[in-house]
Amino acid sequence: MGISVGDAVPKRALCAEGAWIDDLLLEGDGRKTALHLGRPVSLAELRRLVADEQERLRAAGLVTGGTLAVRMPPSLACIVAMLAGWRTGAQVALLDHRLTTYEVGKAVARLTPQLVVEPVEEVTGRLRGFFDVSTRITPLHGGRPAASPHALLQLSSGSTGPSKVIGRTVRSLLEELDRYARLDGFPRRGERTVVLASIIHVLGLVGGLLHGLASGTEVVLPGTQTVDGILKAVAAGDAPTTILGVPSQAALLTAPQTPPRLPQLRRMIVGGELVRTDVWERFTRNYGADLGVMYGMTEAGVIATDLSGTNRPGLTPAPGMKVRVEDGQILLGLPDTPYVGTADPTRFVDGWLRTKDAGSFDEATGLLTVHGRLDAQVSIGGLKVDLAEVEQALTALPGVTDAVVVQGTGIEAFVTVAEQQVFDGLAALLAARLAPYKRPRTLHALAEIPRTVTGKPVRNAEILRAALRSAASADDSGPGAGGDPAHLDADTATV
């Protein structure tokens, strides 16, 4: 049964005062384990921690209609702070703890929160799944009450350009939880979800944390996001288990030559980008579990899914989500604009959000295929080239472990490879697979493709070139002449 915004959730939960936290997320048998972060956290303990944190926030000046920024690493303290803010009826802005001081300053200037909750001491550890932290609450000079009805403010990933401020109302969050509750195959009461996706970004936050609390699914954060740490988290419980993350994490889990037997692993569900065919094949073969995919946006949450991976690349629109394709672009029907502050007025028109994602519908099956970003469709000498197609051709080559293709001075490809010999032969292999006008003009080798804090590959040409320069200055012994990262002119096939 789905969570009905109008019926199953009391109508008072739709107001701004935060009653939805008690009515939907913290309601139930207090003895039940709600969270697992190195230890079980019962629903009763979580209720007590949220109530205590709410008193701290009120003592610091937070009131209904106030504004709170939570800048925390994944932790019990982070979960408690955001729930306490919403329970107070405040607007909560979530900031990734991995942002630099400069980036945080810019975000605070745009969001103008009255209070910020952050760790007493800065945390480190890129592969940590969660942290044990103490927090401080700091009033901010110039902070303002909420200027919009949104309960949640987030910044877009910034994978293709400057971040946007995106707002979600309580109703929007409840409607997304309703979609998750109605998805056949998504985790249910009595099951476990090992959440690898960030709990302050939309997939990990709503699909992982909030859905887990609303549905009675145990939410597990692994001690580390290494192969060993993730598999240990799966093996720690007997209940049917789903892993929620991004494709690069699915690829990581295909690394073991002899993966352990995990009969409780039901499936992994990933979002954020397309899943490579070789990753899907290795994962499903190695674990005997499904590798499903989801398409969504920070602006709206989950949009379409293929949770079993059987319809690849087709996706079924999520229950209740209005989706159509116009002139090759995916459009979403939303009641209001999700953008807060200055925004492109052409993005949301007449109740339809233009996603800037290319897609198509199969009229016979009703399945949606996402073809990538519209800005990945470029013109080369008057001929249209889909950069996603070039990326797929690259990642299908033996020894290529990752690739990003952008339009810079012609088509440029940034790749990671298993060994130098693979890189040396890329131009010749691509010549047999792509028409001349589709081939990258230049190939660059990187040790690692830069990613956003949500795990998406960066597709900004300047940032990618800066990564090349940084690698060259940091490692004088790297591949390529003079210690620079390797570059290949694909027109002449010389290094």
Residue 40 pLDDT greater than 90, yes or no: yes
Do 315 and 387 lie in one domain? The reply is: no
Question: What H or E segment, with its residue span, contains residue 417?
Answer: strand 410-417
Q: Is 1 domain-assigned?
A: no
Lowest mean pLDDT among 44-58, 149-163, 239-253: 149-163
**Domain encompassing residue 398:** 381-489
Do 267 and 403 lie in one domain? The reply is: no
Do 363 and 388 lie in one domain? The reply is: no
Peptide bond before residue 313 is cis, with ω within 30 degrees of 0 = yes
pLDDT for the residue numbered 3:
42
Residue 474 pLDDT greater than 70, yes or no: no
Q: Is 495 domain-assigned?
A: no
pLDDT tier at 102, thresholds 50, 70, 90: confident
Q: Which of 108 and 99 is assigned the larger pLDDT?
A: 108
Q: Which of 137 and 106 is assigned the larger pLDDT?
A: 137
pLDDT for the residue numbered 248:
86
Tokens of 62: 């937070």
Secondary structure letter of residue 203 according to DSSP: I
Do 228 and 279 lie in one domain? The reply is: yes
Residue after which a domain boundary falls, among 319, 338, 368: 368
pLDDT tier at 489, thresholds 50, 70, 90: very low
Sequence-distant (6+) residues with CB within 8 A of 86 are 18, 20, 21, 92, 151
Lowest mean pLDDT among 63-77, 447-461, 465-479, 480-494: 480-494
> What is the number of alpha carbons within 13 Å of residue 215 lying toward its C-beta?
29
Q: Is 449 domain-assigned?
A: yes
pLDDT for the residue numbered 17:
67
pLDDT for the residue numbered 486:
53
Do 42 and 172 lie in one domain? The reply is: yes
Helix (H, G, I), strand (E, B) or coil at 416: strand
pLDDT for the residue numbered 4:
42
Q: Is 374 domain-assigned?
A: no
Q: Is 343 domain-assigned?
A: yes
Residue 113 pLDDT greater than 50, yes or no: yes
Tokens of 329: 């672009």
Q: What CA–CA distances, in Å, run from 133 to 35, 202, 467?
A: 16, 23, 32
pLDDT tier at 83, thresholds 50, 70, 90: very high
pLDDT tier at 335, thresholds 50, 70, 90: very high
Residue 394 pLDDT greater than 60, yes or no: yes
Do 321 and 428 lie in one domain? The reply is: no
Do 364 and 455 lie in one domain? The reply is: no
Residue after which a domain boundary falls, among 320, 346, 368: 368
Q: Is 375 domain-assigned?
A: no
Q: In whole angstroms, what separates CA 11 from the centre of its chain? A: 30
- Give the residue-averaged pLDDT of 80-103: 92
Do 396 and 359 lie in one domain? The reply is: no
* Measured distance CA(328)–CA(105) in Å, rounded: 38
> 233: closest CA among 39, 30, 43?
39
Residue 303 in contact with residue 296, Cβ under 8 Å?
yes
What is 296-348 written as a DSSP string? EETTTEEEEEETTS-STT-BEEPTT-EEEEETTEEEEE-SS--B-SS--TTSE
Residue after which a domain boundary falls, among 368, 399, 415: 368
Helix (H, G, I), strand (E, B) or coil at 45: helix
What's 198's domain CATH number?
Answer: 3.40.50.12780
Whose structure tokens read 């630099």? Answer: 100
Do 96 and 202 lie in one domain? The reply is: yes
* Measured distance CA(217)–CA(190) in Å, rounded: 6
Do 338 and 462 lie in one domain? The reply is: no
Q: Is 274 domain-assigned?
A: yes
Do 349 and 441 lie in one domain? The reply is: no
- Give the residue-averaged pLDDT of 209-224: 97
- Give the residue-averaged pLDDT of 165-169: 94
Neighbours of 457 (CB within 10 A): 19
* Measured distance CA(383)–CA(280) in Å, rounded: 32
Whose structure tokens read 């009450």? Answer: 145
- Provide the domain count of the chain: 2
Do 364 and 385 lie in one domain? The reply is: no
What's 398's domain CATH number?
Answer: 3.30.300.30
Q: Is 6 domain-assigned?
A: no
- Give the residue-averaged pLDDT of 120-126: 84
pLDDT for the residue numbered 475:
58
Residue 12 pLDDT greater than 70, yes or no: no
pLDDT for the residue numbered 162:
59
Lowest mean pLDDT among 1-5, 60-64, 281-285: 1-5
Instruction: Supply the mean pLDDT for the chain.
Output: 87
pLDDT tier at 51, thresholds 50, 70, 90: very high
pTM of the model: 0.82
Residue 359 in contact with residue 330, Cβ under 8 Å?
yes
pLDDT for the residue numbered 431:
87
